[in-house]
């Protein structure tokens, strides 16, 4: 694509999303142009209804824009078939959700290695990576526990481990601290920022958590479906 380079992880051009409510068009996004480069730690913020979760769903390929185009790691999402997009997400994007989305019948280790199983990573390499990431996140003692036996903070650490262990180029996090107390949330965010600095994985958050805003190196504020401000910090 012209105008991008290999450091551009996300590029959106004139992205618009219009929903219908009883036949009445309701614009959620009104034309978003945004480029996010490799290694950024970016928060997309704004009041409820500003379009931030819609935007996150569109840049991940979970939803389609009404108009406009999205490129991820140089690939145009609209040019991919459904299976190509699924494979691309599996190999390039890690997801961290507000509700954790762990598989309740699988242990911590099994949850974390699940994406690598889909990728065809060998057993010994899976085990090595799982051990390493659980140790980095301070949950190495919980490998054989089920998610229901963990606290909310521990479950969210497992979700972070699962997102990172497959070595994606991008991690998308939708309100990842919403169900955590401020101390646990702050500790988890510090770990994510440290992992970002060490690994170079790009993080993009959708949030209105002040703690994430304080730690973000780039703050993109949406208002009424448009970029209101875009602030980069040192």
| pLDDT tens-place string over residues 46-92 | 988 888 989 999 999 989 999 999 999 889 999 998 899 988 888 88
> Rounded mean pLDDT of 31-39?
95
Q: What share of the chain is helix, strand, coil (3-state, %, to 5)?
A: 40, 30, 30
| Segment among 12-26, 77-91, 104-118, 175-189 with least mean pLDDT | 175-189
Output the pLDDT for position 2.
41
Q: Where residue 60 sits, what CATH number does that domain have?
A: 3.40.50.300
Residue 223 falls inside a structural domain: yes
Tokens describing residue 79? 């040019």
Residue 138 falls inside a structural domain: yes
Output the pLDDT for position 222.
94
Residue 1 falls inside a structural domain: no
| pLDDT tens-place string over residues 94-129 | 988 877 889 999 999 999 999 899 899 999 999 999
Residue 77 belongs to what domain range? 8-232
Strand 41-45 and strand 218-223: pairing? parallel
Number of structural domains in the chain: 1
> Rounded mean pLDDT of 3-23?
85
Residue 210 falls inside a structural domain: yes
Find where tokens 């994606």 sit. Answer: 168
**0.75 surpassed by pTM:** yes
Residue 180 falls inside a structural domain: yes
Output the pLDDT for position 167.
82
pLDDT confidence bin for 185, thresholds 50/70/90:
confident
Distances (CA, A) of 185 to 47, 116, 173, 212: 20, 27, 13, 9
Distances (CA, A) of 186 to 54, 201, 211: 25, 19, 7
Residue 38 has pLDDT above 50, yes or no: yes
């Amino acid at each position: 694509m012209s105008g991008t380079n290999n450091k551009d992880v996300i590029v959106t051009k004139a992205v618009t999303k219009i929903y219908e409510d009883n036949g009445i068009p309701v614009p959620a996004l009104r034309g978003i142009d945004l480029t996010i480069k490799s290694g950024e730690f970016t928060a997309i913020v704004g009041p409820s209804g500003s379009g931030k979760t819609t935007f996150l769903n569109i840049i991940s390929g979970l939803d389609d824009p009404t108009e406009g185009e999205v490129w991820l790691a140089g690939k145009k999402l609209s040019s991919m078939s459904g299976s190509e997009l699924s494979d691309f997400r599996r190999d390039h994007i890690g997801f961290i959700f507000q509700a954790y989305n762990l598989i309740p019948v699988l242990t911590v280790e099994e949850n974390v290695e699940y994406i690598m199983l889909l990728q065809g990573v060998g057993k010994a390499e899976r085990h090595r990576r799982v051990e390493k990431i659980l140790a980095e996140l301070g949950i190495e003692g919980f490998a054989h526990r089920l998610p229901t036996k963990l606290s909310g903070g521990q479950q969210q650490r497992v979700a972070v481990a699962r997102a990172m262990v497959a070595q994606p180029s991008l991690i998308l996090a939708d309100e990842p601290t919403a169900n955590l107390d401020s101390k646990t949330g702050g500790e988890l965010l510090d770990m994510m920022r440290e992992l970002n600095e060490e690994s170079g994985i790009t993080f993009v958050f959708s949030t209105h958590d002040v703690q994430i805003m304080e730690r973000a190196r780039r703050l993109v504020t949406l208002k009424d479906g448009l970029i209101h401000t875009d602030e980069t910090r040192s």
